Structure 1
Amino acid sequence: MSMKRSRSKGNDMRKQRLLTGIAGILMAFLFTGCNTSSVEEWVDEVVEDINGQIPDNTLLPVESVSEEKYVYGQLTEEEQLVYDEMLDAILNHREEVAVATLDKDVLAKMYEAIMADYGGLFWVDGYSYTEYSRAGVLTGLKFAPKYTMDEAARQETQAAIDEKVDVLLGGISSEDSDYQKARFIFDTLVRTVNYDLNAENNQNIISVFLEGRTVCQGYACATKYLMDLLDIPCTIVTGTANGEPHAWNLIELDGAYYYMDTTWGNPTSNSPDDFGDVAEVVDYCSFTATTEELFQTHSPNVNFSLPECNCLDDSYFVQENCYFKDWYPEDIGALFTELDSHPVQMKFEDEAVYGQAQQFFIEEGHIGDYYTVDSSLFYMKNETMRVLTFLKK
């Protein structure tokens, strides 16, 4: 048996033909170049210290519309007021507004909070601010969103997005469970939107709904946008994955928190070019993941607290009866009968059972006891998550 091996980011990637006729692939699951925006990049221009001028620092009355948002709920009353002022300016396409703070760091924190709480602000990309002072004493601070289009173009784009989203959400009912809604969004996005580093508008939902190709920030924003429409609490989380800039989501299903990384579920972002047949797989390892599972590869970098996600009730593997705590070969083997209709993924609670499954079904070839094996059958291993995936070519 010959083996071709390459090294990628410390993980092995193998393609091999076994005596059983199964071809195996150990996926690296690497996503690079996501290009998420940092706070420093959001601040496009700083106009500081217009000394001696007396600006109109009148604070506009604003109404809070964010009481149920995750990050907003963690802010102080003073921070919430600044958040409300900044969001009101963005939603109403205002050029510049005075804010109830003299601290530019508060602006940065509130802008990050807004971007985590809202996924659909496609017409804004950063901001600038102006500091006013008299006799060396800071007297005022103004916030100016950086718009990527005028208000007419924004309305036209929003109408086009609404039309696409209405069709997309036609496949789900408001009566469906939280799990069903979340999985519908996950499946729909990973199956219909390609991962493309060169996609235009890839930091917002235009790339997803109107262009069908995006990167991690676009996936995370679109996930947030759709979850909001289905009344599923959701937040955008940014940080790194395998050391590269990345974005994913925190969601709440049936009162429990889970992580959801739509990018890592997408076949076009986790399949090497020479494994085109694997592109039919949706990887559920990153859907409703726990903190322990996701943080083996992901590291958040945010200015708000994150919960400990440790519930398995709405895990894909639990819900679909393919999570195994103990060694039950007959129960595991029964899953292979579904291979003719769709790929099969199975997750194991610990390394011992995971190792038994690999040895029994793959190395010893006992998958043939449950399914007719030929050269069209492939498998993938995710050793970090203890997941095996089998699929027909």
Structure 2
Amino acid sequence: MKITPAFSLSNLERKIYYKFSLFANSAEIRYDRREYRTIQGEYMRISKKRFWAVLLLSLAALVAGCSQENHQAERKLSSFEPKEVKELRKKEVAQSDGERSEYFFQQLPEEEQRIYREILEGVQQYQEQIYVSSADNEAIDKTYHAILRDHPEVFWIHNRETTYKTVYSTYTVFEPGYQIGQDEIPAVESEMEAAYQTVAGGLLENAGDYEKAKAVYEYVILNTNYGYSEDDQSLAGVFRDHQAVCAGYAGAVQYLLERLGVECLYVTGDTQESPDGHAWNIANLNGTYYYLDATNGDQPDFLQSEEAETVKDMVLYDYLCPFPEEYESMAQIHTEFSLPDCVDTEYNYYVRNGSCFEAYDSEAIYQYACQQIDQGSDMIQFKFRSRQSYEEAIADLIEGKAVEQIAQYYMSYYGMQQIEYHYGVLEDFNTIYFML
């Protein structure tokens, strides 16, 4: 192919001109001045790139020199690190402990995951001072919070105890502050295992996630009294002392469900009723997340009667997989970590048991109550999906005393001449309880 320039070019320009021309596929190539300027412009850009390349190479050399000095300084600093820290840096970071879901660990970046493993191992070994191969104060706090949420079984630490950190240039000495003496741990662990065996032993071999969640929910409520004690913030309060506050309830639920193979998260936040914060759980039931709040499920005092204090084996199922929008109207989650959304109602206790009503129908409620009595139940409980239906039920059953028809059926069924009944309502959940 012959190439004929349309105008004269200098040797340098011609070289570039022909270089570009040889890449063309056309059988005949023609150039005008506009194309030439483009080619020349390309050359100028190439020239500038080369110039900048030289400049960048020079700068890179300077940076490399500074970087080399920095590395030398870092090596000099690291030479003063304790041997424990040097050994920590050589370890690979395990992505799982093989037993728990560690939901919050999975949210951490790689460097914070290393911190997490270092602190957790030290806590598990009951080390008074734990070496951490990081000097990032905020990262250490965050990972410690993640450990508290992921590992209720290390109950000798909890969120109420003061921690101490000595931060050096490249590492930290972390002191967790233990709540329970090391010699007390085996006794509590024995109680934990006994509780697990009791719950697991009561489940059918093919029990699903919901059945496991319900069994754990009931066990914790029926074996714990809400109250303050030295260990009320951990599961030791539940399994050993049988007295705890919300943190203890939530930790115990998480421990048992995770032992049963159900992913369970420990969640903190605020509620309308508590100025001191609250703790509850989110459980993964067959791939869908639900709220569980065993603390609020343990409150028989809502019954409208002076005899309510005599009710011991009382479980409020409203907080077992509650409707998300109803629960979220009373609880706001802390946002240090992201959490899965709870959006489904399939495993809501009332939905599962056919006691959730779309609308108020006096005959439908009466038939449901009679069916429960026939099955031996002394507690009749049901909920409505809407506030309007709930208010209609209150007006008829309680204010209009239509509930007396249910009481009369109960007396007839058991051959009684007299009966005293009590009732309770949970307005936030549109629920009505009758105890006969």
TM bracket, shorter-chain basis:
0.7 to 0.9
User: Does the CA-based 8 Å contact 2:407-2:421 persist in structure 1?
Assistant: no
User: Does the CA-based 8 Å contact 1:238-1:301 persist in structure 2?
Assistant: yes
Q: What percentage of residue pairs aligned between the two structures are identical?
A: 27
**What corresponds to 1:54 in structure 2?**
80
Matches within 5 A, 1:246-265: 246-265=278-297
> Residue deviations 1:252-276, cap 9 Å, x none?
1121111111010113675799432
Letter paired with 1:330: E
What secondary structure does 1:154 align onto? helix
CA distance in 1 between partners of 2:387 and 2:323 (Å) = 17
Question: Of the candidates 154, 175, 179, which is equivalent to residue 148 of structure 1?
Answer: 179
Answering whether residue 369 of structure 2 is matched by residue 336 of structure 1, we say yes
What secondary structure does 2:171 align onto? strand
Name the larger-Rg structure.
Answer: 2
Deviation of the 1:80 alpha carbon: 1.6
What secondary structure does 1:341 align onto? coil
**What corresponds to 1:130 in structure 2?**
166
**What corresponds to 2:217 in structure 1?**
186
Structure 1 residues not aligned, in runs of 5+:
1-50, 133-137
CA distance in 2 between partners of 1:278 and 1:150 (Å) = 36
User: Does the CA-based 8 Å contact 2:134-2:170 persist in structure 1?
Assistant: no
> Residue deviations 1:98-120, cap 9 Å, x none?
32432111111111111111221
Answering whether residue 197 of structure 2 is matched by residue 166 of structure 1, we say yes
Q: Which has the higher strand share?
A: 1
What secondary structure does 1:102 align onto? coil
Letter paired with 1:90: V
User: Does the CA-based 8 Å contact 1:237-1:302 persist in structure 2?
Assistant: no
Closer/same/farther in 2, CA of residues 268 and 366 from structure 1, 3 Å limit = closer
What secondary structure does 2:428 align onto? coil
CA distance in 1 between partners of 2:205 and 2:103 (Å) = 22
Matches within 5 A, 1:24-43: none
Letter paired with 2:398: I
Answering whether residue 427 of structure 2 is matched by residue 379 of structure 1, we say no
Structure 2 residues not aligned, in runs of 5+:
1-76, 411-417
TM-score, length-scaled by structure 2: 0.71
Closer/same/farther in 2, CA of residues 157 and 356 from structure 1, 3 Å limit = closer
User: Does the CA-based 8 Å contact 2:284-2:290 persist in structure 1?
Assistant: yes
Matches within 5 A, 1:10-21: none
Deviation of the 1:316 alpha carbon: 0.3
Q: 95-104 vs 185-194, which deviates more?
A: 95-104
**What corresponds to 1:96 in structure 2?**
129
Q: 173-182 vs 211-220, which deviates more?
A: 173-182
Closer/same/farther in 2, CA of residues 168 and 255 from structure 1, 3 Å limit = closer
Matches within 5 A, 1:152-301: 152-197=183-228, 199-241=229-271, 242-244=273-275, 245-267=277-299, 274=306, 275-301=308-334
What secondary structure does 1:265 align onto? coil
Matches within 5 A, 1:320-359: 320-337=353-370, 338-339=372-373, 341-359=377-395
Letter paired with 2:286: D
Closer/same/farther in 2, CA of residues 108 and 291 from structure 1, 3 Å limit = farther
> Residue deviations 1:50-88, cap 9 Å, x none?
x99934132522534358322122222222221122112
Letter paired with 1:166: Q
When the two structures are aligned, how many residues end up with a matched partner? 336
User: Does the CA-based 8 Å contact 2:222-2:314 persist in structure 1?
Assistant: no
Q: 337-346 vs 72-81, which deviates more?
A: 337-346
Closer/same/farther in 2, CA of residues 163 and 308 from structure 1, 3 Å limit = closer
Question: Of the candidates 370, 391, 400, which is equivalent to residue 364 of structure 1?
Answer: 400
**What corresponds to 1:84 in structure 2?**
117
Deviation of the 1:247 alpha carbon: 0.9
Deviation of the 1:362 alpha carbon: 2.0
Deviation of the 1:375 alpha carbon: 5.3
Q: 143-152 vs 284-293, which deviates more?
A: 143-152
Deviation of the 1:203 alpha carbon: 1.1
Letter paired with 1:58: K
User: Does the CA-based 8 Å contact 1:122-1:205 persist in structure 2?
Assistant: yes
What secondary structure does 2:237 align onto? helix
CA distance in 2 between partners of 1:331 and 1:52 (Å) = 76
Alignment RMSD (CA, Å): 2.6
TM-score, length-scaled by structure 1: 0.78
Letter paired with 2:422: F
Closer/same/farther in 2, CA of residues 65 and 150 from structure 1, 3 Å limit = farther
Q: 341-350 vs 316-325, which deviates more?
A: 341-350
Letter paired with 1:389: Y
CA distance in 1 between partners of 2:95 and 2:124 (Å) = 12
